[in-house]
Structure 1
Amino acid sequence: MVDWLLEHAPNPTDIAVAIEMPHGPVVEALMDRGILAFSVNPKQLDRFRDRFGEATVPMLA
């Protein structure tokens, strides 16, 4: 997954990932490669999906 992200944005500082768990192997892999990982409360994410839908999640510019 990290390699795929870096294919689309070669500079790790251009990538930010929102993830429900603030720890674990996925977060470690992201941080080891210099990618920002933000923890998101699962309930807040569910409410966001209800309000905006999964297809309209905004991309960071």
Structure 2
Amino acid sequence: MTTIYIFGAGASAAEKAPTVRNFFKKSYDFFQNEESLKPVWTFLSRYYHRDRSNWNDIIHQIPV
């Protein structure tokens, strides 16, 4: 299993670097059907008690 760490407090957002909220949204947009990432999407949808079909609801609950 591969572990991914995401660091940042948004200081680079002014330079168009993704924030965590944008990172997950963009990742889902590009990789929603990626078999190896399905556990991530499942975890987030269960953690936030939201269906994956309503991803915007989940995204807005992720702390900035």
Report the TM-score when normalising by structure 2: 0.28
User: Would you tell me which structure has more strand in proportion to its own residues?
Assistant: 1
> TM-score scaled to structure 1, two decimals?
0.29
